[in-house]
Amino acid sequence: MPIRILLYEDNTELRTSLASLISFAEDFELLASFENAGNVLDNIKQNQPDVILMDIDMPEVNGIEGLNLIRSKYNDLPVIMLTVFDDDGHVLEAIKNGATGYILKQHLTTRLANAIHEVMEGGAPMSPAVARLVLKFFNNQHTRKTDYALTNREKQILQSLTDGNSYKMIAFHEGITLGTVTTHIKSIYEKLGVHSQAEAVSKALKERLV
C-alpha cells in the first residue's frame, strides 16, 4: 500500500513540483494539496492521510496554526514541516508544537522521500541545519535548567572546590571566614541535591555549572 499524503503549500509552482515528485514515486500517493491549512481538520477527516507535508509560511492559516489544529485531534499523525526558514524561532515553534520532522525546502528533492519513510517508521527527520539549531537550543536549555539558583559567591566557591582547594584555602581566596565558607557549601549541597564534595564537584563538571 502506498503512503497516503496531504500537502499544504501556498506557492503554486512549488506545490505543483512537489505533487509531481510525489506522484512519480510508486510508494507514495498524493491525496490532495492545498494553499493553506484553513480546513485541515476536514481535509484529514475526508482523506485519511498517513503523512502531512506542511509549509510554515502560508496566508490566512499558516503551518504553525495548522499544526496546532492537527494536534488538537490527531496526536500521532506525522507532520513534516517544509520551509525556507532555518532560524531558531520557526524551527523551535514548530517542534515544540508537535512537528514530527522539519525539512528545509532546498533539501526536498534529496531528502523528502527518505523523510516520509522515516516518519512512518517512527523517526523524526531533520535537515542538518535544523538539527544543529535544535541541539544548540536544548544545550542552552540544559544549562539554564541546571543553574540551581546558585549565587555568584556560591558559584565562585563551587569553582574553587572543583579546583581542589580546601575550605581554608577557599576562605583565604574569597576573603571570608571558615564558618562562612561552611555555610555557603551547605547551601550549595542543598541546591544541587548532593551530600558530599565529590558529588558536588562531579555534578558541577557534568552539568557545566562552573
Q: What is the pLDDT of residues 141-173, one digit of tens each?
A: 555 556 688 999 999 999 988 888 888 889 998
Domain boundary among 121, 142, 163: 142
The domain containing residue 193 runs over which residues?
152-206
16 and 53 assigned to the same domain: yes
The answer to whether residue 147 is domain-embedded is no
- Residues of the chain with pLDDT below 70 are 85-89, 135, 137-147
Tell me what pLDDT residue 69 has. 95
45 and 110 assigned to the same domain: yes
The answer to whether residue 94 is domain-embedded is yes
Domain containing residue 191: CATH number: 1.10.10.10
Domain boundary among 119, 142, 165: 142
The answer to whether residue 181 is domain-embedded is yes
The answer to whether residue 93 is domain-embedded is yes
List C-alpha distances in Å: 65 to 23, 98, 195: 27, 11, 47
The answer to whether residue 64 is domain-embedded is yes
105 and 51 assigned to the same domain: yes
The answer to whether residue 200 is domain-embedded is yes
197 and 117 assigned to the same domain: no
Domain containing residue 7: CATH number: 3.40.50.2300
Measured CA to CA, the distance from residue 175 to residue 44 in angstroms comes to 68
